[in-house]
Every structure is written in structure tokens, then in C-alpha cells.
Structure 1
Amino acid sequence: MNGTWLLVGVLAEDSMLDALGLTGDAVALAGRLAGGARAGIDRDGWPRLTMGQGIIAARRVVPNKALDRYARVMGLTPQPFGSDLILGLGSGGAEGSPSPDLAAEIARQILAAPAMLSPDRLAARLPMIGVWAASVLRGRSSPPSGGGLVALRGPDAVRVEAAEEPFAGYFAVQVSHLRHRTHAGGMSPVMRRETFVSGDAVVVLPWDPRRDRVLLIEQFRMPPFLRGDPQPWLLETVAGRVDAGETVEQAARREAQEEAGLTLTRLFPAINCYPSPGAFGEYLYLFAGVADLPDGIAGIHGLESEAEDIRGHVIDRADLTRMALEGQLSNGPLATLALWLELRIGTLRAQLDNP
């Protein structure tokens, strides 16, 4: 890490320099960058350099250990550029503008990971690191909940004394040692809290307003099986993680295609919630999605790459409401959407009649 490197593209943004603990002088380079829409998200998302007309805004920095570790995770190597070395280039990837804020948060998550995790191990986790980083950004920008009943605390209301990540597979577990302000005043003693880090997800109930029927999916779930539930194949809604770089609405439409082969023509936002905030770092965006559900539309779907084995079921909406009220829906988001749709059906029909 001797000498200086020229950082280009998203690496040259102020937010990235801050995340990597770098400062640098601005440098103008001749040429232009092509691609790079997913730079800082995917290993193969970095732009390529095209010589010719144009000016590239770069930063000249003295590389540090953080930049070196980040580059190894991202598969970046400095490349010769005249008498300099340049970092931030790849094969191009998709066209478009990268997201500096998302790339910077992903960098922070990479650098916060335990030093014992190798760059290759972290590279394998990049999709879920991106999911969590995007979740953190959405969380920071969320409006306060509680209807004004819960007071907003200041930034010093929670003090994390130490944190560690003893497990990091597809999901991760974070152990935090923290103190927080109490209702009686003062600070709590140091507490150990374990969080299952999974990130934001979408939940979609496909609904055909003309036939007044819905599509449910059925798949095997390991936690009910471990609990000894006699029925570990659950009825559920379409659902899945919000990938880094996509909106929750895009995720909802993508999951409907992947899990049910459906094209949603409209999305109605329902309830957003933490399903189990005492232990799970998960936030759900619930939707009712308008779809055409003729006879024979249900089938077997799912991504082979994720070993998904999903069967669809089309039932009348009235039957779904009855099942929810009779306690026949053990999947919480499905029961929530079933009752929400029953309560909101008149309003939704009015919105469809008067778009």
C-alpha cells in the first residue's frame, strides 16, 4: 500500500471516502466511465474506463488498511494508469448511475465485520450485506411511528459499548452490549442483546378483484418443523427480501413473478411492521397486489438456485377471511393481510373504479 492511488467512480464520492476513513485531493482525468450502475453493490458491477472525450472526477489518496480490505472483498485491484495506479474499475456491468449512499453503507458493513472473516467469505455474503445495508438506509429515513404517543429520544439514548458477529452465513447474528435511557431516568446497566440480522422484506397477497379470489402459496418451513408442528408446510403470501438497489415495489413485483408466475397490475400498500422486534432485525412491507387469477393459474414455482419448491392455491377471498377468523392461518403476515383486505375491500374497490 505504498504511494498513492487514484479512486474513480463511486469510490471517489465523499460518502465513500468517509466510510473508508480516507481523505484525498480532487484530480481530473481524461476519459469517461461506462456502466457501473451497481458499483459498490456487486463484485462485477464496477465501471470500465473508456478513453476519449470526457472528464472523470477522481481522488488521489494514500491507501489504508480499510481500503485494502474493502478492495479484496470487492475483487478490486489497482490498475496502471500512466505513472499512477487507479482503483474502481471493472468490466462495466449495467448502465446507470451508482448509489453512493448505498455503496458507502455496504462498505461500512464490510469493515464492521469480524476480522476473522476472510475477504472471500465476505464476498460470498455480499448479496445479504447489501440487503442489510439498504435496510439500514430505509430505517434511518423512516418517519417515526407511535402516533406521537412515544417520545423521540436523542442520539445519545442508546450507547453500544461493544458488538460482535459470532455467526455469518446467509443470515447473520449480531451480539450487542449496550445501555439505553430508562423510563424512570438515567441509564440501564449494560445488557447483552442478540439480533438475527435478516433485513427488509416484502409480503404480497395477490388479489383478483373481478373474481374476488386470492392466490396463496405453500412451502416447507424449517422453524415449524423444528418446533414439532404437525404441518410444517405453511400457507403463506408471496414474500422475499428487498435486494440492494431495488425499491420495495420492484421487489414485490419480482417476487410475484418468481414465486407465483404472476404479473401485478397494481400494488396497494397495507401495513409495515417489525414482526418480532425482540430478536429479529426484519421489517416487512405488506401489500395487496392486483392480479388476474383465472382457473388453472396456480402451479408450482420458485427459483431452482434457491431450492424453492412452491405450490400455488387459488381460493375465494371470503374463504381466506373465514380461515383467518377461525385461526387456520399460522403465517402471521398472511393472517394480517387477510383481515386488512377484508376491512379495506370497499375502499380498494373505489380506488380501482376511480383511478
Structure 2
Amino acid sequence: MTPVFLFGTLLDDALRETVAGRALNGRAAQLPGHRIERAAAGDYPVLVAGGDGAGGLLFEVDDTTLARLDFYEAGFDYVRAARQVVQDGAPVTAQVYVAATPQEPSGAGWSLSDWARDWGALTRLAAVEVMAGFGAIGGDELRFRMTTIRQRALARLRAAEAPAPRSLRSDIHRDAVEVIDARAPYVHFFSVAEIDLTHPRHDGGRSAPINRGALVSGDAVTVLPYDPATDRVLVIDQFRFAPFVRGDLYPWVLEPIAGRIDPGETAADAARREAREEARVEIGAMHRVAGYYPSPGVLTEYLESFVGIADLSDAADRLAGRADENEDIRAHVIPFARLMDLVESGEADTSPLLLSALWLERARNRGTLA
């Protein structure tokens, strides 16, 4: 058995049980000469030298549990190091997880209860997918996947928190669907869910067992910048892999600005961030177009589309995008009439652009944009 001292988010009982694969009971201990601060980059704990002692819990774990803890912590670039902790006044050599790359502290204390309130549900849900990879992938691969794992967890939380109205659609809860078996044959930037299930039928009966698959991703936003003063819009032009795989001879498509919603962001926050990254444009007032599933037969992705007011008086095209994400984006600033010509001709053939253009046409005619 190996003594392990935990001082951060794994003090959350439910999260620790998911990661360890079983309930773990520990005893109070301290790491002398240290304190725990909130990281400057976000709400997670950073161990800082100096102070009256960092409080935590000391556990005795077997090799399998230790390997599970190692795997989970590797996803955040944390590694084990031997440290002297104190329990009941006696020194104990224990394993402590420390950042492999130094983390900048904020100078403010970190609160487990505040973290649990704001981030606990998302982190616990993400940990289920994380630990499904235990024994199949290594720490480097887990670190690569961690952002998208958390985006998918956020999407599941958002779906549960804001169900759509049901005045016409069937009022059948998801709990009425019986899952017979579930698999994830592919997990990387996206994941694929393959499920055998039965569900209630409209005639009151129940379906035979059926097999279904879906591409699983985080929720996303789109924003179509519009300048009422010049009656111009901005659309982006970029290579898209799915049209290429389909066999499209010209797999560069026109779209609004788009991107994933990150944990801690609202949809509007994400839209403003993506506008800066993809087109170097600042968005003023935001007008929500709709929230919708673009292809519910195969995609879990839920889109929040906006029209954003922006200064597009500089009509020049521009190149933008994040180099670290291999984005190669050309932003076109065009008259609104030109956009509608593209809709009419079929050159605009992505659902968020079509929906946003038609919404903008109605709002523009009503004179309700500012």
C-alpha cells in the first residue's frame, strides 16, 4: 500500500470515487511549509511554497488505485513526488501530485466548496469519460483530449438544464429509453457513441432493439457580424473536412464565425471570443437567432446562432485564425445583398449561414437591429 496525500479537487468524495474506482476513506493531514491558492488561470488549486501548512487527506492505496490516480492527474499535467506530510503530529512520507509545469498562483486562497458549486458537476461528469480511457491511452493522449472531454461534459449539462418547450413535440422523458449496451468505438477530437436501445413508440408500444450511432461533440456557437451603417456582413471561407470526405470537389465553404463553447463561457462569450480569433472583429450588441440541432439524426452538436453588430467599414478581406489550431481562414466583408445572392444561388450551403442570413433579412426589414 502507498500513502497518498490529496489536497485539491480529489477531496470531493464523488469525484474521488469515480477516479479511484471505489470509495476511499482518508484521514486529515498537512503538508508543512506550503499553502493552497487558486490558480491565476482558473478555478483549480495550486500548491505554493510558504505558509502554515496545506491541509488535505492522507490515503493508503493499492497499486491499481494508484495507477488510476496517476492517469487522472496526468490529464492535467500533474505528476507524483515524495513529500513529508504530518498526520496526528507524526511525519509520513507520502506521494503528492504536483504540477509538471509550474502554475502561476493568483494570490487568493482556493475553496473546495466554491469549486464544487461552480465546477463540481462538470468535473465529475467529465471524469466518467476520462476514466473510461484508463488502460487504453496514456497521459499525453489524455491531456490532448481533456479540453474536448470537458466540452462534451458541458454539453450534457446544458442539455439537462434547458430542455426545449413541448407544446407539439412528444412529452416523453429520456428515462423511457432503455439502453441495452453502449460503446465508444472512436474517441479523439470527437467521439462516436454506438448504442443498442429500445424506445417508446407513438402507438403506445415499444420499439424492437435497434442499433444507433452518433458523432458526439461539445455545443457550439455561430455569429454573423453585421454593420447596419454600411449594410455589410462578414462571412468566413475555410476548408472543411466533412465536405472533403463526402467528395465535394470544392471543400472550402462559406460560414458564419463559429467555435465550441468552453467551460466557464456563455454562448455569447464564446461568440465574441471566436470573432476576435477568426476574423479580428469586435462584436457589439448580440441578437440571438436560434438554438438548434443542425443534424439530429447523427450529430449531438447543439448550435447557438447569433447576429452580432460590428464595425465593418473597412471592407477589405482579411486572413485570420489560430495557428495552434491549424486554422486557415479568409474573412470576406460583403454587402448584405451579395449575401442573399449567395443564398439564392446555393453557394451559401451551410445551415448556420442560411439560417442566420434569413433571420437577418427579416430583422433588417423590420428595422429592429442596432
Alpha-carbon distance between aligned partners in 1 of 2:203 and 2:84, rounded to the nearest angstrom? 61
Query: In structure 2, what residue type is equivalent to 1:74?
Result: F
* Shift, 1:55, TM fit: 6.4
* Shift, 1:108, TM fit: 1.2
What is the 5 A alignment of 1:13-52? 13-20=12-19, 21-25=22-26, 27=28, 29=30, 32-36=35-39, 47-52=46-51
* Shift, 1:320, TM fit: 2.0
- Matching residue of 1:151: 171
Task: Give the gaps of 5 or more residues in structure 1.
Answer: none
Check the 8 A contact 2:183/2:195 in 1, yes or no: yes
- The secondary structure found in structure 2 opposite 1:125 is helix
- The secondary structure found in structure 1 opposite 2:361 is helix
What is the 5 A alignment of 1:201-212? 201-212=220-231
1:315 to 334, 341, 349: 334
The change in CA–CA distance for 1:184 and 1:229 in structure 2 (over 3 A counts) is same
Tell me which moved more, 65-74 or 192-201: 65-74
What is the 5 A alignment of 1:1-355? 2-20=1-19, 21-25=22-26, 27=28, 29=30, 32-36=35-39, 47-53=46-52, 56=55, 58-63=56-61, 64=65, 66-79=68-81, 80-82=83-85, 83-85=92-94, 87-90=96-99, 91-93=102-104, 95=106, 98=115, 99-113=119-133, 115-147=135-167, 149-153=169-173, 155=175, 157-345=176-364, 350=368, 352=370
Tell me which moved more, 115-124 or 331-340: 115-124
Alpha-carbon distance between aligned partners in 2 of 1:243 and 1:195, rounded to the nearest angstrom? 21
Check the 8 A contact 1:15/1:101 in 2, yes or no: no
Alpha-carbon distance between aligned partners in 2 of 1:268 and 1:61, rounded to the nearest angstrom? 52
Number of equivalent positions? 344
Alignment RMSD (CA, Å): 2.9
Superposed CA offset, 1:157-209 (max 9, x none):
12222222222232222222222233333543332221112221111101112
* Shift, 1:238, TM fit: 0.5
Tell me which moved more, 172-181 or 316-325: 316-325
Alpha-carbon distance between aligned partners in 1 of 2:243 and 2:334, rounded to the nearest angstrom? 24
Could you list the runs of 4 or more consecutive aligned residues of structure 1 that deviate by over 6 angstroms after TM superposition? 37-40
Alpha-carbon distance between aligned partners in 1 of 2:253 and 2:349, rounded to the nearest angstrom? 7
The change in CA–CA distance for 1:345 and 1:119 in structure 2 (over 3 A counts) is same
TM-score (norm 1): 0.85
**Identity %, equivalent residues:** 33
TM-score (norm 2): 0.82
Alpha-carbon distance between aligned partners in 2 of 1:277 and 1:153, rounded to the nearest angstrom? 17
Check the 8 A contact 1:35/1:93 in 2, yes or no: no
- The secondary structure found in structure 2 opposite 1:192 is strand
Alpha-carbon distance between aligned partners in 2 of 1:93 and 1:182, rounded to the nearest angstrom? 55
Task: Give the gaps of 5 or more residues in structure 2.
Answer: 86-91
* Shift, 1:325, TM fit: 4.1
Query: In structure 1, what residue type is equivalent to 2:147?
Result: P
